[in-house]
């Protein structure tokens, strides 16, 4: 239930408190009595008690005409009335935002309605003041160990999706792959509806930078020499300004 729609802004964040007023429950009791006659179940009980008949666990006060269940005032299943009761027993400056169990005990002293425990639980979880002031029950954070520095390029990678982009050539997302060692990026156009199988095919076909540490075979050596020259030409150098942009951005 969205309690924020039922609460006025002035009741959540009052501009100033000049004095604390203790309001009587007369208006609240009147609204409770009127709402009971609108409920078919409680209307029949009130009619039976008004005729002088007895109903198990229910009683009607002859002076105030308040319907009671055992010793508690019966409240109809009206969220606005129930919210008004909780504001008096939870949000009042005299009460001071007690915890959920204490709020339940305070309300149970005087009132009764079906689903009270769940209603108070939902209200307590939506209370902004209690959310800011509640105690932290989690354990203390342990030692934060940073990620190890890679020994070479394309050993440790980071991947992330950029989604909800305008459609372009049947694509609406971009898969970004960054090498943690060289800071080299690979941008792969894709779709937000990609599956795990499609992601595997996408990475296998787009990322192929693995190089063996040991050269095996005579025909493989010229290819590695050519790749080495290409990579060295693109390496950052203090005398080559354009090659320093990945580390300077």
Burial 199-233 (b: 16+ CB within 10 A, else e): eeebbeeebeeeeeeeeeeeeeeeeeeeeeeeeee
The residue extents of the domains of the chain are 3-13+22-131, 157-248
What gap in Å lies between CA 238 and CA 244, rounded to an integer?
Answer: 8
The pair phi, psi for residue 111, each rounded to 5°, is -125, 160
Say if residues 235 and 243 touch (Cβ distance below 8 Å).
Answer: yes
Instruction: Work out the average pLDDT over 185-207.
Output: 80
pLDDT digits (tens, 9 = 90+) for 52-88: 788 888 888 777 777 888 888 888 888 888 888 888 8
Q: Is 123 helix (H, G, I), strand (E, B) or coil?
A: helix
Long-range contacts formed by 61-66: CB under 8 A, 24+ apart:
64/29, 65/33, 66/29, 66/32, 66/33
pLDDT digits (tens, 9 = 90+) for 78-137: 888 888 888 888 887 777 778 888 888 888 888 888 888 898 888 888 887 777 776 777
The yes-or-no verdict on residue 46 having pLDDT over 70 is yes
Name residue, tokens 């599956």: 195
What gap in Å lies between CA 96 and CA 238, rounded to an integer?
Answer: 64
For residues 218 and 165, which has the higher predicted lDDT (pLDDT)?
Answer: 165
The yes-or-no verdict on residue 163 having pLDDT over 70 is yes
Class of domain 3-13+22-131: mainly alpha
What gap in Å lies between CA 12 and CA 123, rounded to an integer?
Answer: 13
What gap in Å lies between CA 154 and CA 210, rounded to an integer?
Answer: 7
Q: Of 70, 72, 77, 36, whose CA–CA distance to 55 is shortest?
A: 70
Long-range contacts formed by 24-28: CB under 8 A, 24+ apart:
25/88, 28/81, 28/84, 28/85, 28/88
Structure tokens at 186: 């690979």
Alpha-helical (H) ranges within 87-216 are: 100-108, 116-126, 128-133, 196-206
Instruction: Work out the average pLDDT over 161-168.
Output: 89
What gap in Å lies between CA 224 and CA 222, rounded to an integer?
Answer: 5
pLDDT in the model for residue 235: 52
In this prediction, residue 33 has a pLDDT band, given cuts at 50, 70 and 90, of confident
């Amino acid at each position: 239930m969205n309690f924020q729609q039922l609460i006025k802004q002035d009741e959540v964040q009052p501009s100033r408190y000049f004095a604390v007023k203790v309001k009587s429950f007369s208006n609240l009791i009147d609204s409770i009595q009127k709402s009971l006659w609108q409920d078919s179940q409680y209307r029949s009980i009130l009619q039976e008690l008004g005729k002088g008949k007895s109903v198990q666990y229910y009683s009607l006060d002859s002076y105030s005409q308040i319907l009671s269940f055992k010793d508690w005032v019966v409240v109809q299943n009206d969220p606005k009335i129930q919210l008004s009761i909780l504001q008096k027993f939870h949000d009042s400056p005299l009460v001071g935002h007690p915890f959920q169990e204490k709020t339940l005990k305070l309300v149970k002293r005087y009132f009764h309605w079906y689903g009270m425990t769940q209603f108070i639980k939902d209200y307590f979880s939506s209370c902004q003041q209690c959310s800011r002031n509640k105690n932290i029950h989690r354990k203390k954070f342990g030692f934060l160990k940073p990620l190890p520095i890679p020994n070479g390029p394309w050993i440790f990678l980071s991947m992330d999706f950029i989604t909800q982009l305008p459609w372009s050539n049947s694509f609406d997302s971009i898969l970004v792959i960054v090498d943690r060692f060289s800071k080299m990026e690979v941008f792969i156009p894709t779709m937000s509806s990609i599956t795990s199988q499609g992601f595997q095919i996408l990475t296998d076909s787009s990322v192929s930078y693995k190089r063996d540490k040991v050269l095996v075979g005579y025909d493989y050596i010229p290819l590695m020499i050519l790749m080495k020259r290409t990579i060295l030409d693109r390496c950052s150098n203090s005398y080559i300004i354009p090659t320093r942009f990945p580390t300077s951005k």
